[in-house]
Amino acid sequence: MIYITDKRQELHFTQVFRCARKTGIIRPETELRHIGFGTMNGKDGKPFKTRAGGVMRLQTLIEDINTEMLGKIKSNEEIPEEEARDTAAKVALAALKYGDLSNQASKDYVFDLERFTSFEGDTGPYILYTIVRIKSILAKYADQGGEAVSASDLLPAAGKLEKSLMFDLAGFSAMMDGAYQDLAPHRICAYIYQLSNDFNSFYHATRILTEEDAARKKSWIALLELTEQVLLTCIHVLGFDSPERM
């Protein structure tokens, strides 16, 4: 059983858990854990005061982020209105959830809507943009009549950037296990941010679709499919999804 409250209530829950065990309210094998979170501060660095009415309602916040994202998505005139709205909703949710979960729960942080909705830096939209970029490359590969690939097509890394990406992917299971054991979703965020950065560095330095060596090209496509799979798994754990294009 996990209790999530303000970190200043830590002593209270320590006492509650001890009382619950001494009185036999819970079974000996039941695990009780308290996760204390820090304060959400405004740009002035001061905590929002919920009792004073200084915090906007969640519904209003979601609507504001949706509106902000819809304006950005509509800049791509090729995307139809309905798809643009669906995409904006997915990106807005990613911005909100990633913005909150990327911070270590016990630490205070500044709630900055402009930073959360940016397509650059350590943000949800940046992670989704990376996934959409991979989807686009894989779709073009398929349109070119590319053969199906599997993990067995992976070749040893041909350069430092490819090697860094492979190392990231190799660390997925250990990262996820550690995040679970420590109840620390911010570790998943840090991991996929690093993975996205290393993928984008590899992408910009590599001509994937025009590679003439068929075996090397299949290896890179297999690497992209694996990267996509890991990124999608991670964002699903964090509670949001990816659009097909942005």
- Within a domain: 135: yes
- Within a domain: 218: yes
- Within a domain: 179: yes
Which CATH number covers residue 122?
1.10.730.10
Q: Which domain holds residue 164?
A: 58-238
- Within a domain: 244: no
- Within a domain: 145: yes
- Within a domain: 154: yes
- Within a domain: 34: no
How many independent structural domains does the chain possess? 1
User: Can you give the pLDDT at residue 94?
Assistant: 95
Helix (H), strand (E), coil (C) string for the chain: CEEEEEHHHHHHHHHHHHHHHHCCCCCCCCCCEEEEECCEECCCCCECCCCCCCCCCHHHHHHHHHHHHHHHHCCCCCCCHHHHHHHHHHHHHHHHHHHHHCCCCCCCEECCHHHHCCCCCCCHHHHHHHHHHHHHHHHHHHHCCCCCCCHHHCCCCCCHHHHHHHHHHHCHHHHHHHHHHCCCHHHHHHHHHHHHHHHHHHHHHCCCCCCCCHHHHHHHHHHHHHHHHHHHHHHHHHCCCCCCCC
List, for the chain, all residue ranges whose pLDDT scores fall below the cut of 50.
none
- Within a domain: 24: no
User: Can you give the pLDDT at residue 139?
Assistant: 96
User: Can you give the pLDDT at residue 45?
Assistant: 66
